[in-house]
Amino acid sequence: MHIRALSTLECSKLLTANRVGRLACAKDGQPYIAPFYYAHADNHLYAFSMLGKKIDWMRANPLVSVQVDAHGKGPGWKSVIVTGRYEELSDRIGHEAQRDHAWLVLSKHADWWEPGALKPATFADLEHLPHVFFRISITEVSGREASES
């Protein structure tokens, strides 16, 4: 098995080609990791969620990491780690352009809203839970690839 580092461009291509990552955050010294759907554009990972543990923790500590991987044929794989900062895209005055951009980037993918809107709850509860658009501003990216050659 041969392991090599991915270039920044290769990391970017992997982030763009995939839609599911693992989002890691921490609060009061305790780490937490959760899968999340995202769309990659302009050095950001854009996402949509309902309120819950990951949003609460990222509000408390905006420093996060994201891991995205892809499995090739056979034993090969690629993995990218993003270090970044959580930025909530609120509907407050002055943030409309950022929120609209997030909507545009996310809506290029079919059913982009489902993972963030399907939280275990009754239908009546879903009507009252606010939705949160956010992005991870990428500060650092690195990746590795394993191949048989």
d(CA 56, CA 54): 5
Q: How confident is the model at residue 106 (pLDDT cuts 50, 70, 90)?
A: low
For the entire predicted model, the pTM comes to: 0.79
Mean pLDDT along residues 36-44: 90
d(CA 1, CA 72): 13
So what's the architecture of 2-136 in CATH?
Roll (2.30)
Reply yes or no on whether the pLDDT at 124 is more than 50.
Answer: no
Reply yes or no on whether the pLDDT at 111 is more than 80.
Answer: no
As a whole number, the mean pLDDT across the chain is 82
Rg (CA), the chain: 16
Residue 66: the pLDDT is 98
Domain boundaries, the chain: 2-136
d(CA 57, CA 34): 12
State pLDDT tens for residues 44-85: 998 888 888 999 999 999 999 999 999 877 788 999 999 999
Q: How confident is the model at residue 127 (pLDDT cuts 50, 70, 90)?
A: very low
Reply yes or no on whether the pLDDT at 13 is more than 80.
Answer: yes
Which residues make beta-bridge pairs with 36? 21
